[in-house]
């Protein structure tokens, strides 16, 4: 049986730079996997390749055995991959709720406010999914607030809510804890654990090692575009190649 998500010798170059270099990995359904590596290691590029925001220069991406490389981000989202962005993609002048419907609409492929009854049913579903996503991240009370007016910490959850509104089977999170304080990071860890317990497959890019090592079942390490280690947190923390990759790098 093929893995839930697989990359096969996946590569992406920018000019002469191999941002992602021959990366093969397999993620099983229901896993919570950390993706770590020094700045510029290629983590975000790998996420972009999986979610269709960047086209591969070589190799393949397979979801449940089917190739998804070459599909649009929209099609990949509809197949069940939701993601967040390292640089938050929040529309500050829209309400919290409307920011989330952007995600839900992507899933339903239809605009809101239509006069046709069958479209009305869809728009009701979008509304319901958006509220459910906001409830899941604890932002229901802020639904009508302007996104610009909620705290940075809450905006990080809004970014997650938008991905959840697509009801993804696979959720990929790009540095969700960046900029959060210690208490907020602990709360986020609990939240990610709860998403995982509900059965979601999750890949987490994070620089906060304590967070990664405490919640992830497996950790994949990238350095200079290449996968240099893949294993249980204990093993990865003791790996000589990993330590070397981080040496002299100011995290």
Element (H, E) at 127: helix 117-137
Number of residues that bind Mg ion (CB under 5 A): 3
Q: Which of 26, 10, 19, 117 is nearest to 63 (CA)?
A: 26
d(CA 142, CA 157): 12
**What DSSP character marks residue 244?**
H
CB of 18 to ligand ATP, least distance (A): 9
Instruction: Return the residue matching tokens 């997650």.
Output: 160
Residue 112 to residue 235: CA distance in whole angstroms: 49
**How far does CA 221 lie from the centroid of its chain?**
16
Stretch that binds ligand ATP, among 42-50, 65-73, 87-95, 147-155 (CB under 6 A): 42-50
Closest CB 243 distance from ligand ATP, rounded Å: 18
Instruction: Name the one range near Mg ion by CB under 5 A: 30-38, 42-50, 116-124, 196-204.
Output: 42-50
CB of 70 to ligand ATP, least distance (A): 18
Q: Does 41 bind ligand ATP (CB under 6 A)?
A: yes
Asked if 45 touches Mg ion (CB under 5 A), the answer is no
What residues are paired with 227 via a beta bridge?
A: 222
92 close to 148: Cβ distance less than 8 angstroms: yes
Q: Pick one of 5, 23, 44, 77: the residue that binds ligand ATP (CB under 6 A).
A: 44
In the range 134-163, which residues lie near ligand ATP by CB under 6 A?
A: none
Least Å from the CB of residue 38 to ligand ATP? 7
Q: Which residues bind Mg ion (CB under 5 A)?
A: 43-44, 86
């Amino acid at each position: 049986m093929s893995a839930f998500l697989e990359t096969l010798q996946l590569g992406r170059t920018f000019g002469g730079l191999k941002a992602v270099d021959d990366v093969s990995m397999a993620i099983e359904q229901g896993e919570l996997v950390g993706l770590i590596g020094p700045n510029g290691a290629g983590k975000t590029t790998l996420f972009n390749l999986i979610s269709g925001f960047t086209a591969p220069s070589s190799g393949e991406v397979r979801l449940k055995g089917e190739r998804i490389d070459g599909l649009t981000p929209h099609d990949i989202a509809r197949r069940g991959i939701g993601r967040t962005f390292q640089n938050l993609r929040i529309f500050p002048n829209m309400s919290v709720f409307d920011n989330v419907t952007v995600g839900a609409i992507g899933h339903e492929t239809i605009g809101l406010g239509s006069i046709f009854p069958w479209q009305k049913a869809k728009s009701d579903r979008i509304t319901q999914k958006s509220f459910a996503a906001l409830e899941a991240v604890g932002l229901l009370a802020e639904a009508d607030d302007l996104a610009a007016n909620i705290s940075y910490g809450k905006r990080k959850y809004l970014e997650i809510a938008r991905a959840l509104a697509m009801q993804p089977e696979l959720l990929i999170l790009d540095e969700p804890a960046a900029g959060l304080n210690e208490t907020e990071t602990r709360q986020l860890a609990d939240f990610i654990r709860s998403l995982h317990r509900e059965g979601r497959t999750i890949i987490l890019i994070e620089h906060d090692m304590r967070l990664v090592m405490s919640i992830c079942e497996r950790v994949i390490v990238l350095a200079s575009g290449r996968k240099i280690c893949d294993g249980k947190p204990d093993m990865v923390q003791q790996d000589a190649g990993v330590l070397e990759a981080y040496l002299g790098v100011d995290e």
